């Protein structure tokens, strides 16, 4: 999740922006997005922000600097009066863009103690002031405005990573520290309902106005066989039945690589679950708490989701079945309540944790599909560094759909394609069944 190349067209990464969006509106969205990043990191100490608990995660301070580096590198450096905050940051906070330049090794990001957190926050303020000045002076070209919008979406991706990465970091402490001390939303008991997806041709991909990434296009047709998707997510209580039935000891339920992962890593339950005195507990951003059977199960790998589906005599949906069902539900019941996302939970004063199964397909937890992350027919990576955003990761990954409680509500859509390796567990990932 990162950036596009200086001098390339952002239109090659995304669809056109909404025609109703003025630069003034975009300026407000920029400030709102940057402010939300500050809100979700407000409770963290400088020590918290430096921890890197595994190679796949990054320190909070790196996320804060990297998202700022985007706007400085691809928007502000072309402004004639802009002063670069620190030339060394171009190396320290580039992520994986080889066409932009060298990068500090990802697995060593937690070893950089300087610049400190205070300096990084000064860096953010420096860039924010310059972006505001550019909006006020109407000096941004249409291409630069498009890059600002891409940067906003990019920062929202990193907001989610901040939450998932700090949760993993805090879980490494035997003290089980809290990221926040907020109550949970009330849990809702799951119901046995199904969403029908009829046979026939369906249109897949983002159409019309609004932002989308290049991997959501081109629009194309897919032929589906008739199927049904569960209207509710698999709950913790349902998943406990799988554990109690020896699900982690039965190789016939697992893909070969999944069984190897179980044996190698010693998996016997989802990430963050543990037993004390015969009772199940789970670590959350609000600390270690008793497991609620009505909560959607989360922090599981594709391998675990697939094994559970086999145990139930069902399967995971394809990403195309999921999208067809989501579009159908959105059109049929646009007024139905959706699971709150990160910004909504923060505004309402609830802990960021999936606590009730939603009555739509969006929100709560990212849902694994059985689809490998691959290019849509006719896809061509954009030239230059922009082609490194999504295209080069279309190998050995699986697609997830729907967003999670760590996703911003205005960042997700029915065509959004998230992707991770099959053994990933530190994201808010769960299960929706198909049959």
Query: 392: burial class by Cβ within 10 Å (0-12, 13-18, 19+)?
Result: exposed
Tell me: do 313 and 201 sit in the same domain.
Answer: yes
Tell me: do 290 and 363 sit in the same domain.
Answer: yes
**Dist. CA 322–CA 116, nearest whole Å:** 44
Cα atoms found within 13 Å of the Cα of residue 115, Cβ hemisphere only:
22
396: in domain: yes
Q: What is the DSSP code (8-state) at residue 315?
A: B
The residue among 171, 202, 225 that closes a domain is 171
Tell me: do 265 and 385 sit in the same domain.
Answer: yes
pLDDT in tens, the chain (435 residues): 333 333 333 443 444 344 334 667 999 999 999 999 999 999 999 999 999 999 999 999 999 999 999 999 989 988 889 999 999 999 999 987 676 789 899 999 999 999 999 999 999 999 999 999 999 999 999 989 988 998 999 999 999 999 999 999 999 999 999 999 999 999 888 778 899 999 999 999 998 888 888 899 899 999 999 999 999 999 999 999 999 999 999 999 999 999 999 999 999 999 999 999 999 999 999 999 999 999 999 999 999 999 999 999 999 999 999 999 998 876 555 434 567 899 999 999 999 999 977 767 998 999 999 999 999 999 887 666 555 566 667 789 999 999 999 999 999 999 999 999 999 999 999 999 999
355: in domain: yes
**Dist. CA 335–CA 322, nearest whole Å:** 20
**Dist. CA 43–CA 37, nearest whole Å:** 12
Among residues 204, 413, 195, the alpha carbon closest in space to that of 325 is found at 195
Question: What is the pLDDT at residue 213?
Answer: 87
At 217, is the secondary structure helix, strand, or coil? coil
The residue among 118, 136, 171 that closes a domain is 171
Among residues 88, 48, 311, 64, the alpha carbon closest in space to that of 175 is found at 48
Q: What is the DSSP code (8-state) at residue 396?
A: S
**Dist. CA 369–CA 428, nearest whole Å:** 14
Per-residue pLDDT tens digits for 20-60: 346 679 999 999 999 999 999 999 999 999 999 999 999 99
Query: Largest alpha-carbon pair distance within the chain?
Result: 66
**Dist. CA 139–CA 230, nearest whole Å:** 50
H or E element at residue 156: helix 142-171
**Dist. CA 91–CA 100, nearest whole Å:** 10
187: in domain: no
CA 264 to each of CA 245, 258, 268, 275: distance values in angstroms, whole numbers, following the listed order: 21, 10, 11, 21
176: in domain: no
Range of the domain at 119: 10-171
How many structural domains is the chain composed of?
Answer: 2
CATH of the domain at 398: 3.90.1580.10
**Dist. CA 91–CA 104, nearest whole Å:** 6
Tell me: do 250 and 212 sit in the same domain.
Answer: yes
**Dist. CA 255–CA 34, nearest whole Å:** 42
The residue among 137, 171, 205 that closes a domain is 171
- 229 within 8 A of 321, measured Cβ to Cβ: yes
Tell me: do 241 and 379 sit in the same domain.
Answer: yes
CA angle 23, 415, 75 (to 5 degrees): 30
Tell me: do 324 and 401 sit in the same domain.
Answer: yes
pTM above 0.85, yes or no: yes
Tell me: do 298 and 367 sit in the same domain.
Answer: yes
343: in domain: yes
206: in domain: yes
């Amino acid at each position: 999740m990162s950036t596009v190349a200086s001098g390339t067209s952002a239109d090659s990464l995304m669809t056109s922006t909404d025609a109703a969006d003025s630069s003034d509106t975009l300026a407000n969205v920029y400030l709102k997005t940057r402010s939300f990043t500050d809100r979700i990191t407000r409770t963290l100490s400088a020590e918290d922000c430096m921890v890197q608990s595994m190679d796949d995660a990054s320190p909070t301070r790196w996320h804060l600097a990297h998202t700022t580096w985007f706007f400085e590198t691809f928007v502000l450096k072309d402004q004639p009066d802009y002063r670069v905050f620190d030339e060394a940051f171009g190396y320290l906070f580039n992520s994986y863009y080889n066409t932009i330049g060298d990068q500090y090794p990802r697995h060593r990001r937690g070893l950089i103690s300087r610049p400190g957190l205070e300096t990084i926050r000064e860096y953010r303020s420096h860039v924010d002031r310059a972006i505001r000045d550019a909006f006020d002076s109407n000096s941004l070209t249409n291409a630069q405005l498009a890059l600002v919008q891409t940067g906003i979406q990019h920062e929202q991706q990193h907001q989610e990573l901040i939450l998932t990465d700090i949760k993993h970091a805090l879980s490494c402490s035997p003290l089980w520290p809290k990221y926040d001390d907020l109550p949970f939303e009330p849990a809702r008991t799951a119901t046995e309902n199904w969403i029908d997806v009829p046979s026939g041709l369906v249109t897949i991909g983002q159409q019309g106005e609004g932002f989308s990434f290049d991997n959501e296009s081109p629009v194309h047709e897919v032929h589906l066989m008739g199927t049904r998707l569960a209207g509710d997510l698999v709950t913790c209580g349902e998943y406990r039945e799988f554990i109690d039935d020896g699900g982690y000891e039965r190789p016939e339920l697992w893909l070969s690589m999944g069984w190897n992962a179980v044996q190698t890593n010693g998996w016997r339950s989802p990430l963050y679950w543990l037993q004390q005195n015969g009772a199940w507990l789970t670590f959350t951003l609000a600390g270690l708490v008793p497991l609620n059977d009505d909560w959607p199960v989360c922090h599981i790998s594709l391998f675990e989701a697939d094994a559970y589906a086999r145990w139930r005599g069902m399967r995971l949906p394809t990403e195309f079945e999921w999208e067809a069902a989501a579009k159908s539900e959105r059109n049929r019941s646009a007024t139905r309540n959706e699971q709150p996302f990160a910004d909504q939970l923060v505004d309402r004063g609830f802990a960021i944790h999936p606590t009730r199964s939603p009555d739509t397909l969006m929100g709560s937890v990212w849902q694994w599909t059985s689809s490998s992350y691959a290019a849509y027919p006719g896809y061509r990576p954009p030239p230059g560094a922009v082609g490194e955003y999504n295209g080069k990761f279309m190998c050995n990954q699986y697609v997830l759909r729907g967003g999670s409680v760590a996703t911003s509500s205005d960042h997700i859509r029915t065509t959004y394609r998230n992707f991770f390796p099959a053994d990933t567990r530190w994201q808010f990932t769960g299960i929706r069944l198909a049959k």
